[in-house]
């Protein structure tokens, strides 16, 4: 009997029907279980070694953050059973209605985005748990370099950037992002409709179930608002973006709206450049060219962010080195290219 079979049998799910859920760009696998003591999902981290972690190392942040989110009165999947050494976890099944599925089915977007913004405001307002890594200028600059300089740049220009240019880019990112350090807020880092559940039987911010939070960090709350309202994978109408931001700011009246919008522009410039280049890495390294369809959206969102004065350092760098005509996807690769030395595994490998 495999460790997975033994784990499921020990908790009453030996005979449960198993339905694997679609896998995204990450390495964790999820399976919906029906026919056991209660509806549940199996979270499987046994593939963590491919990103440099043991299964237990991969699982423990999820456990910590799930309990934190529940403890501040928000909705995360309840922990039903765990086998941390083997990277296996049983969690509450919050259902099938993600915000993304509802939007794809034609649901009015504004109520969903406003509800998501209100839940996000509650997540940000609560004191964060101890021990979170920082998602600030040094790490943000390094992660955008790992996609933009290491993958997009050679694909676009035919060669890796020279070291002086790489140093200039890192200085540019620090100049843009350093003013927003020290916010000390829990940042989800991938707060968008596919990671949000519609829970209409719950009240207030709890009617939004929060998923995929295991790589949360300490950073500026504007980053998550960018993830939500400037989605790399779907278009969000300007009036919906404005309504979500208004709902967020109404729930956090202590924030300065102009300063928050400036932080959003800087965070957006980092995120959109990193993710636009990430699609190229997924194509060339991982043989997943279908992600390139999101490239034009990311480049358009980047152009919008660069118009704000807060993003001026990056705008100037790109004007010096990347002609506007090249700010797009390079041609798809016919086969995956050899990967450079692997970087530390984080949420940066998703979008």
pLDDT block averages, 10 residues each, the chain of length 351? 94 96 80 95 92 91 96 97 95 96 98 98 97 96 98 97 98 97 91 97 97 95 98 97 98 97 98 98 93 97 98 98 96 62 44 55
Look at residue 343 in the predicted model and tell me its pLDDT: 40
Give the separation between CA 151 and CA 205, rounded to whole angstroms: 39
Among residues 185, 56, 55, which one has the least CA distance to residue 125?
185
CATH of domain 99-349: 3.90.1200.10
Instruction: Specify the DSSP element, H or E, that contains 197.
Output: strand 196-198
C-alpha angle with apex 103: 100 to 106, nearest 5 degrees?
A: 155
Q: At 351, list the tokens.
A: 């979008």
Under DSSP, is residue 289 helix (H, G, I), strand (E, B) or coil?
Answer: helix
Among residues 161, 106, 143, 133, which one has the least CA distance to residue 275?
143
Give the separation between CA 170 and CA 168, rounded to whole angstroms: 5
Phi and psi torsions of 89, nearest 5°? -150, 135
Look at residue 342 in the predicted model and tell me its pLDDT: 41
Phi and psi torsions of 185, nearest 5°? -105, 145
Look at residue 25 in the predicted model and tell me its pLDDT: 59
Look at residue 332 in the predicted model and tell me its pLDDT: 87
Domain(s) of CATH 3.90.1200.10: residues in the chain: 99-349
Query: What are the distances in angstroms from CA 305 to CA 51, 58, 284?
Result: 31, 33, 27
Give the separation between CA 189 and CA 52, rounded to whole angstroms: 20
CATH class name, domain 3-92 = alpha beta
Among residues 82, 88, 80, which one has the least CA distance to residue 40?
80
Tell me if 99 sits within 8 A of 119, measured CB to CB.
no
Strand pairing category for 79-83 and 40-44: unpaired
Instruction: Specify the DSSP element, H or E, that contains 34.
Output: strand 29-34
Domain(s) of CATH 3.30.200.20: residues in the chain: 3-92
Look at residue 242 in the predicted model and tell me its pLDDT: 98
| Helices 238-251/222-229 angle, 10° precision | 150
Give the separation between CA 29 and CA 18, rounded to whole angstroms: 12
Among residues 348, 340, 344, which one has the least CA distance to residue 166?
340
The pTM (predicted TM-score) of the whole model is 0.91
Look at residue 24 in the predicted model and tell me its pLDDT: 65
Neighbouring CB atoms inside 10 A of 24's CB total 16
Q: At 206, list the tokens.
A: 């709890």
């Amino acid at each position: 009997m495999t460790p997975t079979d033994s784990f499921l049998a020990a908790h009453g799910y030996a005979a449960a029907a198993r339905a694997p859920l679609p896998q995204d760009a990450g390495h964790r696998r999820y399976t919906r279980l029906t026919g056991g003591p209660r509806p549940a999902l199996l979270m499987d981290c046994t593939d963590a070694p491919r990103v440099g972690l043991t299964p237990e190392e991969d699982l423990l942040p999820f456990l910590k953050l799930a309990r934190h989110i529940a403890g501040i009165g928000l909705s995360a999947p309840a922990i039903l059973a765990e086998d941390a050494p083997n990277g296996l976890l049983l969690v509450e099944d919050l259902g099938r209605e993600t915000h993304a599925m509802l939007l794809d089915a034609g649901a009015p977007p504004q109520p969903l985005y406003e509800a998501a913004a209100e839940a996000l405001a509650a997540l940000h307002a609560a004191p964060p748990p101890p021990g979170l890594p920082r998602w600030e200028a040094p790490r943000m600059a390094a992660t955008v370099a790992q996609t933009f300089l290491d993958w997009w740049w050679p694909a676009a220009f035919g060669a890796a950037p020279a070291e002086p240019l790489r140093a200039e880019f890192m200085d540019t990112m620090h100049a843009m992002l350093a003013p927003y350090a020290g916010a000390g807020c829990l940042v989800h880092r991938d707060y968008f409709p596919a990671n949000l559940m519609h829970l209409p039987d719950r009240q207030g911010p709890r009617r939004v179930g929060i998923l995929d939070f295991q790589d949360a960090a300490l950073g500026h709350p504007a980053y998550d608002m960018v993830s939500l309202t400037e989605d790399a994978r779907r278009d969000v109408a300007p009036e919906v973006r404005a309504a979500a931001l208004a709902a967020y700011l109404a729930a956090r009246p202590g924030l300065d709206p102009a300063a928050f919008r400036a932080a959003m522009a800087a965070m957006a410039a980092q995120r959109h450049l990193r993710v636009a280049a990430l699609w190229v890495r997924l194509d060339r390294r991982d043989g997943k060219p279908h992600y390139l369809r999101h490239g034009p959206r990311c480049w358009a969102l980047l152009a919008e962010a660069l118009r704000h004065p807060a993003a001026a350092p990056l705008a100037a760098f790109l004007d010096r080195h990347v002609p506007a005509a090249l700010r797009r996807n390079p041609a798809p690769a016919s086969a995956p290219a050899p990967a450079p030395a692997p970087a530390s595994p984080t949420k940066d490998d998703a979008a």
